[in-house]
């Protein structure tokens, strides 16, 4: 399974372009990725238009310290959990708040709840 669909890629690139013009832009996450056997979660909202492998979102490596930041899609593709399972896209994820709201909740809870 591809980590992000073509439509998600286009939306994330559009968010990345908008962020360059409006630093206050706070989009909803476009995609949720997770490791089924390692508790890692990524809520991604943007792709860098100059480097489309570089995504921005809420990253939680499963260590209890989620934070907003950048991550390479190629690095997420290389992640494997305890059982060797790759990261997957949550096919049923529908965002209900902005990325900053998810980040605030994750800081409080110690993990991403989405």
- For each of the chain's 114 residues, which pLDDT tens digit applies? 789 999 999 999 999 999 878 888 999 999 999 999 999 999 999 999 999 999 999 999 988 889 999 999 999 999 998 999 999 999 999 999 999 999 999 999 999 988
Question: b or e along 36-68 (b: 16 or more beta carbons within 10 Å of the residue's beta carbon)?
Answer: eebbbbbbbbbbbbeeeebbbbbbbbeeeebeb
Q: Which domain holds residue 93?
A: 6-109
Find the Cα–Cα–Cα–Cα dihedral 94, 20, 57, 79, rounded to 10°: 110
Domains identified in the chain, total number: 1
Task: Note whether residue 30 is domain-resident.
Answer: yes
Three-state SS for 76?
helix
Task: Note whether residue 1 is domain-resident.
Answer: no
CA distances from 54 to 42, 67, 75, 93, 111 (A): 13, 16, 10, 21, 22
Task: Note whether residue 27 is domain-resident.
Answer: yes
Task: Note whether residue 80 is domain-resident.
Answer: yes
Task: Note whether residue 114 is domain-resident.
Answer: no
């Amino acid at each position: 399974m591809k980590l992000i669909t073509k439509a998600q890629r286009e939306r994330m690139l559009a968010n990345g372009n908008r962020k360059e013009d409006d630093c206050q832009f706070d989009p909803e996450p476009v995609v949720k990725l997770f490791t089924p056997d390692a508790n890692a979660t990524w809520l991604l909202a943007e792709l860098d238009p100059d480097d489309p492998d570089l995504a921005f979102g809420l990253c939680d490596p499963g260590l209890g310290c989620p934070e907003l930041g950048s991550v390479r899609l190629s690095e997420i593709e290389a992640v494997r959990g305890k059982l060797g399972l790759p990261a997957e896209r949550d096919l049923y994820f529908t965002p209900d708040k902005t990325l900053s709201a998810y980040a605030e909740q994750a800081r409080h809870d110690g993990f991403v709840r989405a």
